[in-house]
Amino acid sequence: MYKVDEIRKLFPMLNPQKTMQGKPLVFLDNSSTTFKPTCVIDALDKYYREETSNSHRGDYDLCYNMDQELLEARKAVANFVNCDVNEVVFTSGTTMSINLVAWCYGMKFLKEGDEILLSEAEHASNLLPWYKVASLKGAKLSFVPLDKEGRVTLENVKKALNKNTKIVSLAHIGNVMGFMIDVKGIAKAAHEVGAIMVVDGAQSVPHIKTNFKDWDIDFLAFSSHKMCGPTGVGALIGKYELLEKMDPLFSGGGMNITFDTNGDVEYLEAPVKFESGTLNLAGIMGFKAAINFIDELGIDNIHLHERELREYAINELEKLDNVIMYNKNAEGSMITFNVKGVFAQDEATLLNSKGIAVRSGQHCAKILNGFLETPATVRMSIALYTNKGDIDAFVEALRNGGDILDAYFND
């Protein structure tokens, strides 16, 4: 374990003098994005101040150095999730990564009558690309039934699989309910019927140890900004033999070997053929710094810290009679709740007045509302730098919130 209050000193946004609404800032919207440590900010600054160059486009030292830095960043990502270096495609984040699979794999290999298996708990980024591709290819969308708690279980996945299932695309940890799927078991079941397994790792990769090879999944998508790295950069991990079969979505400089006036084009091998144009090199340098930062802390230590804080928060919330929790038993770092008689956005606005940042609404998982039987919820989410003081301030605000709302509406 690490000393969280020492770690907090490495994050400029957690400066004790930082306020919101005139109150000390308590940031509990970490499932949306995370704060950045100084080492990540320094990596961005270093690129712009000392290393600015393109990659794979120049025969001079600056460009060669950036080529090497890019390779080292690819290696860092590969080591972090246990895949081969040539299976790492740099993207703008989870959304682009899943879109690449949908358009570059789905559009090429799906046929009319094929099925794509999803769940009602998925984020829009893991639904809308499949909706579009299915409509264009004449494929069918199927949804794994959630159990009574809201989980996607291996048993229910097996029941939903059939000979027509060609793609299974699920979040490892959902961004609303926070339940973890048996990704290895589901991948095995998918492969047995001839389907591929796509995993949205946006809410899992930053928090738990990821093992692409051992899980035997086919694609994994995740974002840098949810793991203390920069916005606008992420990765798609794909089995190399599948990446090789796919055509690139974007075309341009840096991803081809040659082309001519006849329209003939020869592409580079994966992963580079998916990385047309100038990459977000500064972001990738920050991404690598974030991975190194997490590695130094230890992903298992981070997971343990977040689990202990979540259990503490659950215990404190259970002492309140005005809070409805929807996912007490979840493995993820978030707690999704409502306050009795209070609309979710009103509750989030009240918490904002106390300096507490949470998320309210549908959390980009709009079809989950039917299962939850509520139009919106509030989500608080924990990160590696969250401490007990954050939880105490949050719980205290909920404890006193009813009186404040009563006074507001009575006035």
The overall average pLDDT reported for the chain is 96
Rounded Cα distance, 155 and 217, in Å: 18
pLDDT reported for residue 407: 46
User: Is 364 part of the annotated catalytic residue set?
Assistant: yes
Q: What is the DSSP string of 225-292?
A: GGGTS-SS-EEEEE-HHHHHHSPPSS--TTSEEEE-TT--EEEPPTTGGG--S---HHHHHHHHHHHH
pLDDT of residue 400: 86
pTM of the model: 0.96
- CB contact at 8 A, 313 and 394: yes
Beta strand 219-223 with 196-200 is: parallel
- CA dist 115 and 120 (Å) reads 16
Report the candidate in 393, 390, 386, 394 with the shortest Cα–Cα distance to residue 35. Answer: 386
Counts for the chain of helices (H) and strands (E), in that order = 15, 17
CB neighbour list of residue 329: distance below 8 Å, 6 or more residues apart: 149
In tens, the pLDDT along 131-178 reads 999 999 999 999 999 999 999 999 999 999 999 999 999 999 999 999
pLDDT on residue 403: 52
Distance CA(120)–CA(135), nearest Å, equals 18
pLDDT at residue 410, as a whole number: 45
What is the full per-residue pLDDT of the chain (411 aa) written as tens digits? 789 999 999 999 999 999 999 999 999 999 999 999 999 999 999 999 999 999 988 999 999 999 999 999 999 999 999 999 999 999 999 999 999 999 999 999 999 999 999 999 999 999 999 999 999 999 999 999 999 999 999 999 999 999 999 999 999 999 999 999 999 999 999 999 999 999 999 999 999 999 999 999 999 999 999 999 999 999 999 999 999 999 999 999 999 999 999 999 999 999 999 999 999 999 999 999 999 999 999 999 999 999 999 999 999 999 999 999 999 999 999 999 999 999 999 999 999 999 999 999 999 999 998 999 999 999 999 999 999 999 999 999 999 875 555 444 444
Quick one: DSSP state of residue 364? T
Tell me what pLDDT residue 409 has: 46
C-beta of residue 262 within 8 angstroms of C-beta of residue 245: no
Q: What is the residue whose two structure tokens read 């298992």?
A: 300
